[in-house]
Amino acid sequence: MPRAGLSPDAVVDAAIGIVDAGGPDALTLAAVAKAAGVATPSLYKHVRNLAELRDLVTRRVMEELTVRLQRAAMGRSGDDAMRAVMRAYRSYVVDHPSRYAAMSQQPLTDPRMADTGERLLEVVLAVLRGYDLDGPDLIHAARCLRSAVHGFAVLEAAGGFGLPEDLEASYDLLVRMVVGGLRAAPRPGPHEPPIG
């Protein structure tokens, strides 16, 4: 029988606490068992192995990020929504750098978890649709947006910007560049080859 009070959510809570305190590499089943006050074999009643626990941590982080982006976009549209979503994404990474680093950057293939990634993507796509994007153009724009925000936020969280210029000013410039690019980007014609 599972220990009273121990549940899959409680196991993930303990895992998140370990990641927040020690980084993604600190996440082990033994560390989670110790934090939960159980013997390691007791965890197998809630998770199959460390790989599944890492997937569950990824799902939790994606859920938290989705909620933050949804709140940022709520009641906004167009450029205002894009600015808010970009700022919310960055703030999540800066607020929870280890947690974000523990999130797999690959698509979740387990059907029980794939819907979480789809919900996060749908928030981003909904904002991008405000720029009259659809089909492949919508996906290309989502990839570019993710690359820009993820790259800046991860570098910032890791202390990767050593020059004295104000980071807020740099990020404001990135937001303006993304918004301006989305408004001005020509849509490829049916016979126009992609760049590169």
Q: Render pLDDT for 81-129 as a digit per residue (tens, 0 to 9).
A: 999 999 999 999 999 999 999 998 887 677 777 888 899 999 999 999 9
Q: Which two tokens stand for residue 22?
A: 């020690």
Tell me how far apart the alpha carbons of residues 114 and 144 are, in angstroms, rounded to a whole number: 21
pLDDT of residue 191 exceeding 80: no
pLDDT given for residue 2 in this prediction: 42
Tell me how far apart the alpha carbons of residues 38 and 117 are, in angstroms, rounded to a whole number: 31
Phi, psi values for residue 186, rounded to 5°: -70, 145
Distance between first and last Cα of the chain: 58
Confidence class of residue 190 from pLDDT cuts 50, 70 and 90?
low
DSSP per-residue codes, 25-52: GG--HHHHHHHHTS-HHHHTTT-SSHHH
Q: Is 142 in contact with 125 (CB distance < 8 Å)? A: yes
DSSP per-residue codes, 89-136: HHHHHHHSHHHHHHS-SSPP-SHHHHHHHHHHHHHHHHHHGGGT--HH
Q: Which two tokens stand for residue 174?
A: 């990135």
